[in-house]
Amino acid sequence: MTCRLFASTGIKSDIPGSTTILCRDTRMAEPHIELIDVYKTVARQPGALSRSEILSGVSLKVYRGELITLMGPSGTGKSTLLRLINRLTEADSGTILVDSVNIKDYDPRELRRRIGMVFQTPVLFKGSVRDNISFGKKLWHTDADIEALASEAAIPEELLDADATHLSVGEKQRVSIARALANKPEALLLDEPTSALDRASAEKVESLLLRLQVEHNLTMLWVTHERAQARRVSRHNYVLEDGKLREEHG
Ligand SMILES: Nc1ncnc2c1ncn2[C@@H]1O[C@H](COP(=O)(O)OP(=O)(O)OP(=O)(O)O)[C@@H](O)[C@H]1O
Protein backbone atom coordinates (compact mmCIF):
# COMPACT_ATOMS: atom_id res chain seq x y z
CA MET A 1 0.00 0.00 0.00
CA THR A 2 1.31 3.48 -0.85
CA CYS A 3 0.02 6.87 0.13
CA ARG A 4 -0.95 9.57 -2.32
CA LEU A 5 -0.22 12.61 -0.22
CA PHE A 6 -2.41 15.67 -0.44
CA ALA A 7 -1.72 17.68 -3.56
CA SER A 8 -0.73 20.76 -1.59
CA THR A 9 2.41 18.93 -0.49
CA GLY A 10 3.35 18.46 -4.12
CA ILE A 11 4.46 14.89 -3.45
CA LYS A 12 2.97 11.86 -5.11
CA SER A 13 3.91 8.26 -4.68
CA ASP A 14 2.36 5.77 -7.07
CA ILE A 15 4.08 2.41 -7.27
CA PRO A 16 2.56 0.25 -10.04
CA GLY A 17 0.69 -2.73 -8.70
CA SER A 18 0.17 -1.30 -5.24
CA THR A 19 -2.95 0.15 -3.69
CA THR A 20 -2.97 3.93 -3.58
CA ILE A 21 -4.94 5.66 -0.85
CA LEU A 22 -5.22 9.21 0.35
CA CYS A 23 -3.14 9.64 3.48
CA ARG A 24 -3.00 12.35 6.07
CA ASP A 25 0.47 13.82 6.33
CA THR A 26 0.43 16.20 9.25
CA ARG A 27 4.16 16.89 8.99
CA MET A 28 4.04 18.56 5.63
CA ALA A 29 1.09 20.93 5.60
CA GLU A 30 -0.95 23.26 7.73
CA PRO A 31 -4.59 22.21 8.10
CA HIS A 32 -6.84 23.59 5.39
CA ILE A 33 -9.67 24.08 7.91
CA GLU A 34 -9.08 24.20 11.65
CA LEU A 35 -11.46 24.67 14.56
CA ILE A 36 -9.85 25.53 17.88
CA ASP A 37 -11.87 25.23 21.09
CA VAL A 38 -15.15 26.37 19.52
CA TYR A 39 -18.20 27.00 21.72
CA LYS A 40 -21.70 27.65 20.41
CA THR A 41 -24.96 28.24 22.26
CA VAL A 42 -28.47 28.63 20.84
CA ALA A 43 -31.69 30.05 22.24
CA ARG A 44 -34.15 27.16 22.20
CA GLN A 45 -37.11 29.58 22.07
CA PRO A 46 -37.18 33.00 20.45
CA GLY A 47 -36.44 35.66 23.05
CA ALA A 48 -35.53 33.07 25.73
CA LEU A 49 -33.08 34.36 28.31
CA SER A 50 -31.26 31.08 28.77
CA ARG A 51 -29.26 29.48 25.98
CA SER A 52 -28.25 25.86 25.46
CA GLU A 53 -24.68 24.97 24.70
CA ILE A 54 -24.47 22.69 21.65
CA LEU A 55 -20.72 22.86 20.97
CA SER A 56 -18.51 22.72 24.05
CA GLY A 57 -14.92 23.28 23.02
CA VAL A 58 -14.76 21.58 19.62
CA SER A 59 -11.36 21.31 17.95
CA LEU A 60 -10.74 19.75 14.55
CA LYS A 61 -8.08 19.76 11.84
CA VAL A 62 -8.95 18.93 8.25
CA TYR A 63 -6.17 18.86 5.69
CA ARG A 64 -6.41 20.00 2.08
CA GLY A 65 -7.89 17.32 -0.13
CA GLU A 66 -9.07 15.32 2.87
CA LEU A 67 -12.60 14.02 3.37
CA ILE A 68 -13.87 13.62 6.91
CA THR A 69 -17.33 12.56 8.04
CA LEU A 70 -19.41 13.86 10.94
CA MET A 71 -22.00 11.67 12.62
CA GLY A 72 -23.99 11.96 15.81
CA PRO A 73 -27.53 11.92 17.17
CA SER A 74 -30.10 14.28 15.72
CA GLY A 75 -29.91 17.82 17.06
CA THR A 76 -26.36 17.59 18.43
CA GLY A 77 -25.08 20.43 16.24
CA LYS A 78 -23.57 18.82 13.12
CA SER A 79 -25.22 21.29 10.72
CA THR A 80 -24.36 24.13 13.06
CA LEU A 81 -20.70 23.09 13.00
CA LEU A 82 -20.72 23.19 9.18
CA ARG A 83 -22.51 26.55 9.15
CA LEU A 84 -19.89 28.05 11.47
CA ILE A 85 -17.17 27.34 8.93
CA ASN A 86 -18.64 29.50 6.17
CA ARG A 87 -20.07 32.01 8.64
CA LEU A 88 -23.74 31.28 8.11
CA THR A 89 -23.67 31.41 11.91
CA GLU A 90 -21.10 32.71 14.41
CA ALA A 91 -19.33 30.93 17.26
CA ASP A 92 -19.65 32.28 20.80
CA SER A 93 -15.93 31.75 21.31
CA GLY A 94 -13.00 29.88 19.83
CA THR A 95 -11.21 30.26 16.53
CA ILE A 96 -11.82 28.93 13.03
CA LEU A 97 -8.99 29.13 10.53
CA VAL A 98 -9.04 28.56 6.78
CA ASP A 99 -5.53 28.30 5.34
CA SER A 100 -4.28 29.52 8.73
CA VAL A 101 -6.29 32.76 8.42
CA ASN A 102 -9.11 33.54 10.87
CA ILE A 103 -12.41 33.30 8.98
CA LYS A 104 -13.36 36.70 10.44
CA ASP A 105 -10.57 38.21 8.33
CA TYR A 106 -12.11 36.97 5.07
CA ASP A 107 -14.76 38.80 3.08
CA PRO A 108 -17.71 36.48 3.87
CA ARG A 109 -18.58 36.25 0.16
CA GLU A 110 -15.05 35.17 -0.73
CA LEU A 111 -15.12 32.68 2.16
CA ARG A 112 -18.36 31.20 0.77
CA ARG A 113 -16.91 31.02 -2.72
CA ARG A 114 -13.93 29.08 -1.39
CA ILE A 115 -16.07 26.87 0.84
CA GLY A 116 -19.24 25.73 -0.89
CA MET A 117 -22.16 24.01 0.74
CA VAL A 118 -24.52 21.27 -0.40
CA PHE A 119 -27.70 20.74 1.62
CA GLN A 120 -29.84 17.69 2.33
CA THR A 121 -32.72 19.09 0.28
CA PRO A 122 -31.49 20.75 -2.90
CA VAL A 123 -32.90 24.24 -3.32
CA LEU A 124 -32.90 25.47 -6.91
CA PHE A 125 -34.40 28.73 -8.08
CA LYS A 126 -36.97 28.99 -10.84
CA GLY A 127 -35.17 29.06 -14.14
CA SER A 128 -33.23 26.63 -16.30
CA VAL A 129 -30.66 24.14 -15.09
CA ARG A 130 -28.08 26.22 -16.98
CA ASP A 131 -29.14 29.39 -15.08
CA ASN A 132 -28.84 27.58 -11.77
CA ILE A 133 -25.37 26.22 -12.50
CA SER A 134 -24.24 29.63 -13.85
CA PHE A 135 -25.31 31.46 -10.69
CA GLY A 136 -21.92 31.40 -8.95
CA LYS A 137 -20.02 31.92 -12.18
CA LYS A 138 -21.89 35.21 -12.72
CA LEU A 139 -21.59 36.24 -9.07
CA TRP A 140 -17.88 35.59 -8.77
CA HIS A 141 -16.87 35.94 -12.43
CA THR A 142 -15.23 32.54 -12.51
CA ASP A 143 -14.34 30.96 -15.84
CA ALA A 144 -16.40 27.84 -15.11
CA ASP A 145 -17.44 25.89 -18.20
CA ILE A 146 -21.13 25.16 -17.57
CA GLU A 147 -21.42 22.34 -20.14
CA ALA A 148 -18.31 20.65 -18.74
CA LEU A 149 -19.59 20.95 -15.17
CA ALA A 150 -22.97 19.51 -16.14
CA SER A 151 -21.24 16.60 -17.80
CA GLU A 152 -18.99 16.10 -14.74
CA ALA A 153 -22.09 15.99 -12.54
CA ALA A 154 -23.74 13.47 -14.89
CA ILE A 155 -26.43 15.93 -15.98
CA PRO A 156 -27.49 15.09 -19.55
CA GLU A 157 -27.05 17.95 -22.03
CA GLU A 158 -30.74 17.90 -22.94
CA LEU A 159 -31.57 18.85 -19.34
CA LEU A 160 -29.52 22.06 -19.43
CA ASP A 161 -32.43 24.15 -20.70
CA ALA A 162 -35.13 22.36 -18.68
CA ASP A 163 -36.91 24.09 -15.79
CA ALA A 164 -34.77 23.21 -12.75
CA THR A 165 -37.76 23.07 -10.43
CA HIS A 166 -39.23 20.19 -12.46
CA LEU A 167 -36.31 17.81 -12.01
CA SER A 168 -36.29 14.73 -9.78
CA VAL A 169 -34.69 15.22 -6.35
CA GLY A 170 -31.64 13.21 -7.44
CA GLU A 171 -31.20 15.38 -10.55
CA LYS A 172 -31.67 18.52 -8.45
CA GLN A 173 -28.94 17.39 -6.08
CA ARG A 174 -26.56 16.84 -8.99
CA VAL A 175 -27.40 20.35 -10.26
CA SER A 176 -26.72 21.83 -6.83
CA ILE A 177 -23.34 20.07 -6.78
CA ALA A 178 -22.51 21.41 -10.27
CA ARG A 179 -23.62 24.88 -9.07
CA ALA A 180 -21.29 24.62 -6.07
CA LEU A 181 -18.41 23.64 -8.36
CA ALA A 182 -19.01 26.63 -10.66
CA ASN A 183 -17.69 28.83 -7.84
CA LYS A 184 -14.34 27.02 -8.09
CA PRO A 185 -14.42 26.06 -4.41
CA GLU A 186 -11.52 24.55 -2.48
CA ALA A 187 -13.76 22.82 0.04
CA LEU A 188 -17.34 21.57 0.26
CA LEU A 189 -19.52 21.32 3.36
CA LEU A 190 -21.95 18.46 2.72
CA ASP A 191 -24.97 18.41 5.00
CA GLU A 192 -26.47 14.94 4.51
CA PRO A 193 -26.22 15.25 0.71
CA THR A 194 -27.76 11.84 0.00
CA SER A 195 -30.31 11.35 2.76
CA ALA A 196 -33.27 12.84 0.85
CA LEU A 197 -32.61 10.59 -2.15
CA ASP A 198 -33.81 7.12 -3.08
CA ARG A 199 -31.19 4.38 -2.92
CA ALA A 200 -30.19 4.49 -6.60
CA SER A 201 -29.87 8.31 -6.67
CA ALA A 202 -28.02 8.28 -3.34
CA GLU A 203 -25.46 5.84 -4.73
CA LYS A 204 -24.98 8.01 -7.83
CA VAL A 205 -24.51 11.19 -5.78
CA GLU A 206 -22.16 9.47 -3.33
CA SER A 207 -19.89 8.20 -6.10
CA LEU A 208 -20.11 11.54 -7.91
CA LEU A 209 -18.92 13.39 -4.78
CA LEU A 210 -16.07 10.94 -4.25
CA ARG A 211 -14.92 11.32 -7.85
CA LEU A 212 -15.11 15.13 -7.70
CA GLN A 213 -13.22 15.17 -4.41
CA VAL A 214 -10.25 13.42 -5.98
CA GLU A 215 -10.41 15.20 -9.36
CA HIS A 216 -10.60 18.68 -7.81
CA ASN A 217 -8.58 17.88 -4.68
CA LEU A 218 -11.50 19.16 -2.62
CA THR A 219 -11.51 19.22 1.16
CA MET A 220 -14.84 17.80 2.33
CA LEU A 221 -16.72 17.73 5.63
CA TRP A 222 -19.59 15.29 5.12
CA VAL A 223 -22.43 14.98 7.63
CA THR A 224 -24.16 11.62 7.49
CA HIS A 225 -26.45 9.54 9.67
CA GLU A 226 -25.29 6.32 8.03
CA ARG A 227 -22.27 4.73 9.64
CA ALA A 228 -21.86 2.44 6.61
CA GLN A 229 -21.69 5.47 4.33
CA ALA A 230 -19.20 7.20 6.62
CA ARG A 231 -16.94 4.15 6.50
CA ARG A 232 -17.29 3.83 2.71
CA VAL A 233 -16.29 7.41 1.99
CA SER A 234 -13.60 8.09 4.61
CA ARG A 235 -11.19 6.67 7.14
CA HIS A 236 -11.56 9.80 9.27
CA ASN A 237 -14.97 9.53 10.93
CA TYR A 238 -15.97 11.84 13.79
CA VAL A 239 -18.93 11.71 16.16
CA LEU A 240 -20.44 14.82 17.73
CA GLU A 241 -22.18 14.09 21.00
CA ASP A 242 -22.86 16.15 24.14
CA GLY A 243 -21.05 19.10 22.57
CA LYS A 244 -17.82 17.17 22.08
CA LEU A 245 -16.23 15.76 18.96
CA ARG A 246 -14.39 12.44 18.99
CA GLU A 247 -12.77 10.47 16.21
CA GLU A 248 -14.03 6.92 15.73
CA HIS A 249 -11.36 4.27 15.42
CA GLY A 250 -11.72 0.80 13.98
N1 LIG B 1 -30.59 29.41 14.62
C2 LIG B 1 -30.96 28.61 15.62
N3 LIG B 1 -31.72 29.09 16.61
C4 LIG B 1 -32.11 28.30 17.63
N5 LIG B 1 -31.78 27.01 17.72
C6 LIG B 1 -31.03 26.48 16.77
C7 LIG B 1 -30.57 27.25 15.65
N8 LIG B 1 -29.85 26.44 14.84
C9 LIG B 1 -29.85 25.24 15.42
N10 LIG B 1 -30.54 25.25 16.57
C11 LIG B 1 -30.73 24.14 17.50
O12 LIG B 1 -29.44 23.64 17.77
C13 LIG B 1 -29.48 22.22 17.84
C14 LIG B 1 -28.52 21.63 16.83
O15 LIG B 1 -29.08 21.81 15.53
P16 LIG B 1 -28.36 21.19 14.25
O17 LIG B 1 -29.28 21.39 13.10
O18 LIG B 1 -27.00 21.77 14.13
O19 LIG B 1 -28.26 19.66 14.65
P20 LIG B 1 -27.91 18.40 13.76
O21 LIG B 1 -26.97 17.57 14.55
O22 LIG B 1 -27.44 18.82 12.42
O23 LIG B 1 -29.33 17.70 13.64
P24 LIG B 1 -29.93 16.70 12.53
O25 LIG B 1 -29.04 15.50 12.53
O26 LIG B 1 -31.30 16.39 13.03
O27 LIG B 1 -29.93 17.43 11.22
C28 LIG B 1 -30.93 21.81 17.63
O29 LIG B 1 -31.54 21.62 18.88
C30 LIG B 1 -31.53 23.00 16.91
O31 LIG B 1 -32.89 23.12 17.21
Q: Would the CB of 46 count as within 6 Å of ligand 1?
A: no
Ligand 1 geometric centre to CA of 241 (Å): 13
**Same domain, yes or no, for 221 and 129?**
yes
Query: Which residues, 6+ apart, have CB-to-CB distance to 158 below 8 Å?
Result: none
- Which atom of ligand 1 is the closest one to the Cα of 83? 18
In a domain, 37, yes or no: no
Q: What is the pLDDT of residues 145-180, one digit of tens each?
A: 999 999 999 999 999 999 999 999 999 999 999 999
**Total Cβ atoms within 10 A of residue 78:** 25
Ligand 1 geometric centre to CA of 78 (Å): 8
Positions in the chain short of pLDDT 70: 1-28
Rounded CA separation 31/11 (Å): 16
In a domain, 156, yes or no: yes
Query: Which residues, 6+ apart, have CB-to-CB distance to 27 below 8 Å?
Result: none
**Same domain, yes or no, for 119 and 5?**
no
Give the N- to C-terminal CA distance of the chain in Å, as an integer: 18
Q: Is the ipTM of this complex over 0.90?
A: yes
Q: Where are the beta strands (DSSP E) in 31-91?
A: 33-42, 52-62, 67-71
**Same domain, yes or no, for 241 and 119?**
yes
Pairing of β 236-241 and β 67-71: parallel
In a domain, 94, yes or no: no
In a domain, 46, yes or no: no
pLDDT of residue 4: 45
In a domain, 55, yes or no: no
In a domain, 197, yes or no: yes
Rg of the chain in Å (alpha carbons): 18
pLDDT of residue 28: 58
pLDDT of residue 1: 38
Give, for ligand 1, the residue of 44, 80, 89 to mutate: max count of ligand atoms closer than 8 Å to Cβ: 80
In a domain, 96, yes or no: no
**Same domain, yes or no, for 68 and 174?**
yes
Give, for ligand 1, the residue of 54, 119, 229 to mutate: max count of ligand atoms closer than 8 Å to Cβ: 54
Q: Whose CA is nearest to atom 10 of ligand 1?
A: 42
Q: Would the CB of 76 count as within 6 Å of ligand 1?
A: yes
Strand, coil or helix: what is 38?
strand
**Same domain, yes or no, for 187 and 241?**
yes
Query: Backbone phi, then psi, for 213, in 5-degree steps?
Result: -60, -45
Ligand 1 geometric centre to CA of 60 (Å): 19
**Same domain, yes or no, for 1 and 84?**
no
Torsion of CA 198, 172, 209, 102, to 10 degrees: -120
pLDDT of residue 100: 96
- Which atom of ligand 1 is the closest one to the Cα of 240? 21
Q: Whose CA is nearest to atom 23 of ligand 1?
A: 75
pLDDT of residue 22: 52
Reference 203, options 190, 193, 216; nearest CA is 193
Into how many domains does the chain fold? 2
**Same domain, yes or no, for 223 and 123?**
yes
**Same domain, yes or no, for 211 and 144?**
yes
Q: Whose CA is nearest to atom 25 of ligand 1?
A: 74
CATH code of 158's domain? 3.40.50.300
Q: Would the CB of 48 count as within 6 Å of ligand 1?
A: no
Question: 128 to each of 39, 56, 164, 166, how far by Cα in Å?
Answer: 41, 43, 5, 10
In a domain, 56, yes or no: no
**Same domain, yes or no, for 23 and 78?**
no
Reference 167, options 128, 135, 200; nearest CA is 128
Ligand 1 geometric centre to CA of 81 (Å): 10
Write out the residue range of the structural domain in which residue 6 sits: 1-28
**Same domain, yes or no, for 21 and 108?**
no
